[in-house]
Amino acid sequence: MTNEAERRPGETSITLPDAYDAGLYFIGRIRTPWARRKDCPRNGLQSDETCTIEVDPPFAAALQNVEGATHLIVLYWMDKAARDLVLQQPRHAEGSRGTFSLRSPARPNPVALSVVELRRRDGHRLVVHGLDCLDGTPLLDIKPYFASTDSRPEARVDRADLKAEPQDP
């Protein structure tokens, strides 16, 4: 599970539990223009590219009514991420930081989420804007985005110790 390329000085890892507590199904794949991590945009809003969410046929019926939402929350599995890092050394930070204060893929359960704009549905495929992940990333879930509960424009993150782009994940 560990990608050595992600390790940097100042990082702290733990011994993970011997067994998993629950299991996930990969229910589709995310098709993006980005084949290498260094090609991925810093976040999905920094690119004009659209991506395609391909839902596997057994789960496709669950897409009914999804076009009623202008925006969706997409959960996906960062299958190349380290899971044992509790302190990490971000590229733009002075010191190490706790995993739960970061949006890094490396975390005990590497479930990533992105808020995307739904452009159109073609059968079991959704064309969306706002993803930044590698081509072929396993899909876990799709949820409608409700501004009433999911949008908090007043939210702030104090990253004064970061050297650049303080509000950018």
Residues 72-131 that bind a second copy (CB under 8 A): 72-73, 75, 77, 79, 83, 86-87, 96-103, 107-109, 111, 113-115, 117, 130
Tell the smallest beta-carbon distance from residue 37 to a second copy (Å): 18
Q: Give the bridge partners for 114, in sequence order.
A: 74
SS3 71: strand
Tell me the window of 3-11, 18-26, 33-41 that interacts with a second copy (CB under 8 A): 18-26
| Total binding residues toward a second copy, as defined by CB under 8 A | 78
Please, is 127 exposed, middle or buried when counting C-beta atoms within 10 Å of its C-beta (0-12, 13-18, 19+)? middle
Cα separation, 56 vs 58, whole angstroms = 6
User: Segment 30-49, which members bind a second copy (CB under 8 A)?
Assistant: 43-45
Contact 72, 118 (CB under 8 A): yes
Tell the smallest beta-carbon distance from residue 33 to a second copy (Å): 19
